[in-house]
Amino acid sequence: MTEAWTIPQTIRWSIPDETRKSWDRKIPYYMRFRDHFAAMIETGALAPGTRLPPERALAEDFSITRVTVRQALTRLETEGLIFREERRGWFVSPPRVRYDPIANTGFTESITEQGRVAGTTVLSKQQVAASQWESTHLGCALGAPIYLISRLRSVDGRAVLVEQIHIKVARCPGLLDYPLDQSMTDLMADKYGIIEHRAQINMRPTALSEIPAKALGVTVGTPGLYLSRAILDQSDQVVEIDQEFWRHDAIDICVSAAGRHESESGD
Amino acid sequence: MTEAWTIPQTIRWSIPDETRKSWDRKIPYYMRFRDHFAAMIETGALAPGTRLPPERALAEDFSITRVTVRQALTRLETEGLIFREERRGWFVSPPRVRYDPIANTGFTESITEQGRVAGTTVLSKQQVAASQWESTHLGCALGAPIYLISRLRSVDGRAVLVEQIHIKVARCPGLLDYPLDQSMTDLMADKYGIIEHRAQINMRPTALSEIPAKALGVTVGTPGLYLSRAILDQSDQVVEIDQEFWRHDAIDICVSAAGRHESESGD
DNA sequence: CGGCGCGGCTGGTATATACCAACTCGATTC
DNA sequence: GAATCGAGTTGGTATATACCAGCCGCGCCG
C-alpha cells in the first residue's frame, strides 16, 4: 500500500514483449493465488495485521491442495507481504520501518520519529569468556571476560529484531548493573566516557536459525537480515560489537551518502 | 569456508540449555539433510560452483522423497549456501563479494580490488516517457523524456545483479550514444560535468520477480536484495536513479560510518 | 473462582505419484 | 561443418493423503 511496496511493480523493464507473452501462457495455480492476495494487500483490502484463513480453508476455497497453498504463502512471505507465527497462522505484514544504520539516531528515536512505538526487552545479560570469534573481533585475548547482552526490539508490539551485544568487561566494568533496556551508546558515553568515533557495519540476507527465530516468534528458516556493527572509539579500538537479526519484511534500510569526490573515479 | 559464512554459527545465544535440549528431540529429515550439506560446504568439501546431484538421486540416496529434498534445498538457498539455475540444477554458492554502496568506488573497481573479475553487459537502452514513479523520483513532468538503461553485472562470470538506470534526457542529451558498459559516474562527469554530490540509498530484501529473475538466470521468487540509489548533484537535483536487483547470496554489504557526535544521543 | 487438562484447530513434516517445460547433448541431416 | 531434430534428463507444478506438535479455549474439578 505504501510507496515502498509498489516500487517493484512500477518498474518498467526492457523487453515488454516478453512480459506480454507471459500473459498468454498458462499461469500456475500458486501464482494466481499469490497474485490474488498480493493485489488485496497492495490495494489495502487486507489491512496489516489481518490474519489469513487457515491453510486448509484456503485450499478448499481455491480448489487447490494445501501443498500448493503453502507454496504460494511461502512466496508471499519471501516477498515480505505476509509473515507467519509458528503454528498460529499467517498475517499481513505491517509497513516496513525505515532504518538508517549509520545515522546519529538510535533505534527508539528513529522509530518514534516515524510515528510508531518502539519497545526493548532484555532477554539476557551475562559475563562469559571470549570465544575465538569474540577475541578476534573485539581485539582481546581468548577467554578474556566479556559481557554478553541479548535484547529483543519491537515496533508497535511486533518483535522485529533480536540483537546480541559484546563488550569487553575491562572497558566497561559493572555495565550489567545499569538498566540495559535503553541506549547503549548513551550509557557508555555517560558512565564510561566512551564516544563512538567510527562504526563498521555489515549486512546480508540470511535465514533465521533456531534461536533468533524462536525469540522473534517466527518459524526457523524464514528469511532474515543479518546486520553487525563494530563500534570503534577515538583511538580506533573496538569497544562494542552488535549483532542484529531482523525480520526481513520489517526493515527498509535508508542511508544517505556523501558524494564521490571530483578527483576520484567511479565504477 | 570464509569467515563470513561462519559468523552465524559462532554466535553464542543466551539460553544454551534450550539449545542442548534441541539435540535430544527428533531432528526432521530435511534438517539432517540440510545440516549434512551445510557442513560439507562450510568445511570446503564442496567447492563453490560445484553442482549437486539431481534431486531424484539425492532423494534416493537419503531415502527421502523429492518433496523433502526440495524443502531442504530451498532452505539452503535461503541461507545463501547454494543457488539454482532454472531447470539446470543446484550449485554451491561462491563467496560473497563485499560491496560498499556509499563508498567512492564503483562496482568494477571494488570487485577487482577483491581479486575477482567484474563484467558488465548492457541489456537495453531506450528513451521513454516518464511514468508516474519516474516523474516523482526524478523530479520532472509526467511524460517527460528519460533514458532507461538496463545492465547486467557479473562477478567471475556469474550474474549477480541487474540494474535499471533512469536519467532525464534534458540533463544528458545524447547519452545513449556513448558506451554504456562502463562507469556511469565517470561518463556523466566527463561528458556532462555532472558531479555526484549526495546519494540516497534504499535497500530491502525481496523476492526476484520474473524479469530480473530471467536476466539473472534464476528461478522467479528466489530471494533477492533490492537496492535503489538516487544521485543528487551539487544543487540537490536528482540526476540519476539506479535500481539494482541483487542475488541475495552474492552480496555482503559493508559500510563504514562516521561516529555519532558527542552532543547527540543514540539508542 | 482459579487452575488444570483435554480436545480441537493450526501449521509442520513427510510419503508416493504424476505430468509438464526447459535444457542438454548427441545424432541426423542438409 | 553448421543447423536441426529429438530423446533423455532436470527441475517445476500439482494432487491426495497422513500423522505430528504446539497453541488455544472450553469445561471440568478442586
Q: How confident is the model at residue A13 (pLDDT cuts 50, 70, 90)?
A: low
Inform me whether the C-beta atom of residue B23 falls under 8 Å from chain A C-beta atoms.
Answer: no
Q: Mind telling me how many Å the CA of B140 is from chain A's nearest CA?
A: 17
Residues B249 and B125 in one domain: yes
Number of domains in chain A: 2
Q: Residue B19 and residue A209: Cβ atoms within 8 Å?
A: no
Checking if the pLDDT of A75 tops 70, the result is yes
Calpha distance B221→B207 (Å, rounded): 5
Given CB atoms, is B21 within the 8 Å cutoff of chain A? Answer: no
d(CA A208, CA A217): 11
The answer to whether residues A219 and A174 belong to one domain is yes
Q: What is the mean pLDDT of residues B10-24?
A: 42
Hey, are the CB atoms on B102 and A255 less than 8 Å from each other? yes
- Please tell me the predicted confidence (pLDDT) of residue B103: 87
Torsion, Cα of B5, B9, B11, B16 (10° steps): 170
Pairwise CB contact (< 8 Å): A257 & B101: yes
CA distances from B67 to A207, B47, B64 (A): 20, 25, 8
Task: Inform me whether the C-beta atom of residue A114 falls under 8 Å from chain B C-beta atoms.
Answer: no
Mean pLDDT of A231-259: 92
A26 vs A31: CA distance, rounded Å: 10
B83 and B205 inside one domain: no
* A5 occurs within a structural domain: no
How does pLDDT run across B99-129, given as a tens digit for each residue?
999 887 889 999 999 999 999 999 999 999 9
What are the chain A neighbours of B266 within 8 Å (beta carbons)? 104-106, 109, 183-186, 196
CA of A87 to C1' of D26 (A): 20
Q: Could you tell me the three cell numbers for B28?
A: 526432521
Q: Is residue A186 part of a domain?
A: yes
Taking only the tens place, the pLDDT of each residue in A115-168 is: 999 999 999 999 999 999 999 999 999 999 999 999 999 999 899 999 999 999
Res. B17: pLDDT tops 80:
no
Q: Identify whether B58 is part of a domain.
A: yes
**B219 interfaces chain A, CB cutoff of 8 Å:** no
Q: Count of CB atoms within 10 A of residue A158's CB?
A: 20
Chain mean pLDDT for chain A: 87
Q: Are residues A228 and A211 in the same domain?
A: yes
pLDDT at A8: 38
B225 and B129 housed in the same domain: yes
User: Are the beta carbons of A202 and B252 separated by less than 8 Å?
Assistant: yes
Instruction: Choose the closest CB to B109 out of A4, A243, A267.
Output: A267
Q: Is the pLDDT of residue B20 over 70?
A: no
- Residue A197 domain-assigned (yes or no): yes
Whether A22 has a pLDDT exceeding 90, the answer reads no
Distance of C1' in C3 from CA in A179, Å: 35
Question: Taking a C-beta distance cutoff of 8 angstroms, is the pair A224, A247 a contact?
Answer: yes
Q: Is B196 on the interface with A (CB under 8 A)?
A: yes
Rg (CA), chain B: 22
Q: Which nucleotide is nearest to B73 (CA to C1')?
A: D11
Element (H, E) at B160: strand B158-168
Q: Which domain holds residue B30?
A: 12-92
Q: What is the mean pLDDT of residues B150-178?
A: 94
Share of chain A above pLDDT 70, in %: 87
Predicted pLDDT of residue A12: 53
Q: Which nucleotide is nearest to B56 (CA to C1')?
A: D10
